[in-house]
Structure 1
């Protein structure tokens, strides 16, 4: 990687003179690419630049033996717990560090964390924060510079983990399953049925895998990638570790699917990191996941997962097997906040509401007498079930169904098997969100599951598109979560002003890649070469 070494050195030399966004973007790309930033010498300059705190760090980095900041620093509310956790960090030190140096580092680490927690009393220590802080200290070496970098992490990337409770963190972990649901439906359902949840991934996310990886070079390589992401909110700062966690599981799908679908067995299979992980590949794929699924969409999926889990528990409590599947019609309430005690009547009202609409319950007075609170909810649930779906609510489904219907002859529309075969043929050249829609329905060879009969039968008896999409939404709520991306106007856009991630997104939407591309100019050259193929010029 000699060539990359020289490129990093050149970028950093230029950044010392002019900290510009294009140069930072180039450095971010190098950090995510194979091998990351390669050396701690480079990281000492790059990490503060990524976090925007480079001006607070001293220009010259001391390489001498670190000394304690003073005994008064190791005090405060968290001092005892911090000291106990730091004592257990022996395996985290790189080979070659002698006992004396390691002892000095541990003293400095305790002092640093106690000072930071005193300076920011609104931040609460969690077990795993010491792993994060140690990694930064080992790279930065100078305690004052390490303090600046760790503080920046506390205020943004780790903010959600340092709240008084872990409730929000637990909610964010649902994003892992939300990503898996969108990438591998079969694996998602397997995990869902096992009730394994997401707690196994907690140390991955809380420590950026540093607690689970024994190789120091791998740890700092992962940190290179996570720190390089340009984020606008604290929530998005945690998305990349979540996306990478999901990617680790997706790459291990074969083993997980072959493991018994039972909680303890699945937890045992998922908890340890898989052996022989190609971290360059994992980090690249995790980055692509972020491009394919926006944080807002994934958070919505995480909320849906939480509700499904809640309703599954309701079903078990009522000794009604499978009830949680029947009450998915409560999903129109996404975004509405209910008190936990209200979930049983809400789920029950939705369940009976679904049966009422389908004609299975005809005695409305009996239905209204289920419970007072259920009857109160019915006035909200029924309109959500009965109201017709609009094209804007499920735009990809409407477009694909309308376009596909237009390709069929009258004779073909009479035969469901022919319709299904034609749909598979129709999906062959589809890209982007239309390709994802085909995947969900089972129209692609790689589709994990399929519900093509839910399309072919309604089409055979000329069911209107809005009703058909409504039926599909009830089968799989994420179908209507698909939204077309805002199209780029290639006549007016200046590709040089786009970020590398946006350029990659263009290529990804076209189903193309840019092998070996690192520099922004290389991506632009590739896009320009492909434009005649994908961008139609108006006469």
Structure 2
């Protein structure tokens, strides 16, 4: 069995990668590095799904930026990031960022001193603030810091901000709109996946709304996964696949808990159980099975897919290579289009609610107007004159 030693700011974490021998581990490492050198996203996608993912943080530092479309020049500087973000206008959500950062790094790293943790929190605050100030249209959401802390621990300072900026604008943009509706629209796909894969389990689980999946899908599982090696491994797969893959991961977890879930009869207890992510996940098996589930029931085969906005990241990130070629301006454009759709939908819903509340009055007006029209219409007059006298 081959072992890999991760170095996390001076602390070592030994991780069983599941390889039978050292040559197999070295072969995969060579394949990943070669794919990174060629910036071959197709190969990286396959390697991310296979056992061990990208293996180490040293390799992730090369693979993740490629999957996200980050380009770094020979000086180690990322494209388009040259001016100081500290002089930019403050983002409206910086107060909430500060509160959440103070609650970060709960589960990992485990061996840091308080001074080291405070330094990481300061770096995390700067990372989030920089991304938000450079893209002020984005709305911060609680749990965003969970995602960003993983990037902070994995990536070097030279690529962190660019990677998180592209992730935010192009991959998790739906969650950074001013409305929760796009996030809810994504959740509606999970019951559809369950219906297709296991109708009996779907009927049981559908007694509760799919809001139980929100913390995990919103944060790419970073909020509830407690082991650093696990969340880094899971991020390999999530970054290598289209955005909808996260929903399939959650659906596959539900499918694996089938027997446990049938023990819960009350909707409240069912919701509670579903909202608690198991900590004994076999991630390699989970990821491989999720990929198979995705192939069997692709997003376009799901009933709720047609209700998803064309500006949603679920539809603008169908091809990871194409997404890596998109620009931050593309993300902004998709954001504005989606935002306009949300505003129009809110106005439509408000009109419908008003109409429903005044339905009796509206009906009376319509009936009255109709009566006046038909009484004055020529066809009504001709019909009245043609009726025999004995009918009056």
**Same topology, TM > 0.5:** yes
Shift in alpha-carbon separation, 1:18–1:36, aligned structure 2, 3 A: closer
> Normalization by structure 1: what TM-score?
0.50
CA contact (8 A) 1:8 1:27 kept: no
* Bigger RCO of structures 1 and 2 (CA < 8 A, at least 6 apart): 2
In structure 2, the partner of 1:244 is 249
In structure 2, the partner of 1:199 is 211
Alignment gaps of 5+ in structure 1: 61-68, 230-236, 305-336, 347-368, 374-539
CA contact (8 A) 1:58 1:145 kept: no
Distance 2:154 2:75 in 1: 14
Segments of 4+ moved more than 6 angstroms: 69-74
Shift in alpha-carbon separation, 1:121–1:227, aligned structure 2, 3 A: same
CA contact (8 A) 1:74 1:114 kept: no
3-state SS of the aligned residue for 2:188?
helix
In structure 2, the partner of 1:258 is 263
> Normalization by structure 2: what TM-score?
0.68
Distance 1:159 1:58 in 2: 30
Distance 1:51 1:207 in 2: 17
In structure 2, the partner of 1:493 is none
Shift in alpha-carbon separation, 1:191–1:9, aligned structure 2, 3 A: closer
Distance 1:57 1:250 in 2: 46
Distance 1:16 1:86 in 2: 32
Superposition pairs for residues 159-308 of structure 1, below 5 Å?
Answer: 159-192=173-206, 194=207, 196-229=208-241, 237-260=242-265, 262-298=266-302, 300=304
Deviation at 1:70, TM superposition (A): 9.1
Deviation at 1:295, TM superposition (A): 1.5
CA contact (8 A) 1:93 1:102 kept: no
Alignment gaps of 5+ in structure 2: 1-18, 78-83, 309-344, 357-362, 368-392
3-state SS of the aligned residue for 1:177?
helix
CA contact (8 A) 1:40 1:139 kept: yes
In structure 2, the partner of 1:90 is 105
Shift in alpha-carbon separation, 1:203–1:276, aligned structure 2, 3 A: same
Distance 1:16 1:242 in 2: 27
- The total of aligned residue pairs comes to 295
Residue by residue over 1:495-515, the C-alpha shift from the partner in whole angstroms, topping out at 9 and shown as x without a partner, is xxxxxxxxxxxxxxxxxxxxx
Shift in alpha-carbon separation, 1:56–1:222, aligned structure 2, 3 A: farther
Distance 2:23 2:89 in 1: 44
In structure 1, the partner of 2:127 is 112
Deviation at 1:187, TM superposition (A): 1.0
Correspondence for 1:29 among 46, 49, 67: 46
Shift in alpha-carbon separation, 1:130–1:299, aligned structure 2, 3 A: farther
For the aligned residue pairs, the C-alpha RMSD in angstroms reads 3.1
